[in-house]
Amino acid sequence: MAESKESKGKAKSNLVLELQRTNALLYLMVILFVLFILTKNPIVGILAGLTFISIFIVDIMSGAEEHGWKEELIGIAKAAGVAIVFWILIIVLMDSSTPISGIVTCSMLPRYDRGDMILLHGIRNFSEINAPVIEMTEDEFAGIYGRENVACGQMGPLEYLCSQNCQRLKRDGSPLGTETLCAVGLGYKGQEIHENYSNDVIVYTPKPYGYNSPLQGMDIIHRVFAKIKVGDKYYFMTKGDNNPVFDSYWFSIIPEQDVKGKVVVRIPFLGYFKLFITPAFYAGMGVDPAGCEKIYERARI
């Protein structure tokens, strides 16, 4: 009986070392990852994620088999220290507390996709964010800030301009019908601002209107529609390119202190590795969230 347990343990040990030596899991993960990108099959995505996690587990177990757990734990601590120093260096270089992030929804389609990795740079001078400016007095701004907003129509001095002809398209470009109403512009004292995809994309932490939201504390990656200047401070009206309404429908207008940086580099697909270590990815069975199957076509009034 003792020999049987010993032989099973030895076989398990040999398997772990062989997986490490041949890089079989790494090759399997690459194959599954490519298949997932091509097919967007959620089962393949889960298998790719589990394989990705397994690589680290096997690496730790093989290290423990070769050098013992004490040496392996010391090695892990050293690697963690190097990673922390590297992360601090990136924070300093990019001047942002969140220099690297991943896109987890489809609110920025088709210019940014779920699974994209983005690099951020901090913002010292908020006047340099590329977006049109609306200058308001403190009294005017008090009429719209911190109040639950409307999707379309007048809100204090600001008018949310909407269209009844917002086309929806499938990912392949075929029509998917229209939305009843969608926001396409802002109006203020005769000034009209319309959607411009050359405006900067920023990352911020939202503040919902006095209720608990699943997005509370999460980073939002959306485009600046307009900057509102109140005295010497800036606030930002933002909107996902693929969303029918402004973010201010759900969240307070973004003050400059809540902005973590602006997007300077987009790297397709690498953001999925962030998703692979997120429990929500497996809780959702690897399926894309709602909205990923359709894209807004630009609309104007």
- What are residue 260's phi and psi, to 5 degrees? -90, -15
Number of domains in the chain: 2
Q: Per-residue confidence at 297, pLDDT binned at 50, 70, 90?
A: low
**CA–CA distance, 217 with 215 (Å, rounded to integer):** 6
Q: Which of 35, 62, 94 is the last residue of a domain?
A: 94
Say yes or no: 190 and 50 in one domain: no
Predicted confidence at residue 285, as pLDDT, reads 83
208 is a domain residue: yes
Is the same domain home to 119 and 204? yes
Q: What is the pTM of this model?
A: 0.84
Are residues 256 and 138 part of one domain?
yes
- Listed residues 94, 126, 152: the one ending a domain: 94
Q: For 139-190, how does the pLDDT look when each residue is reduced to its tens digit (9 = 90+)?
A: 999 888 776 667 888 888 899 998 877 777 777 777 777 777 788 899 999 8
φ, ψ at 32 (rounded to 5°): -65, -40
Domain holding 43, by residue range, is: 2-94
Q: Has residue 83 been placed in a domain?
A: yes
On the 0-12 / 13-18 / 19+ scale of CB atoms within 10 A, 101 is: buried
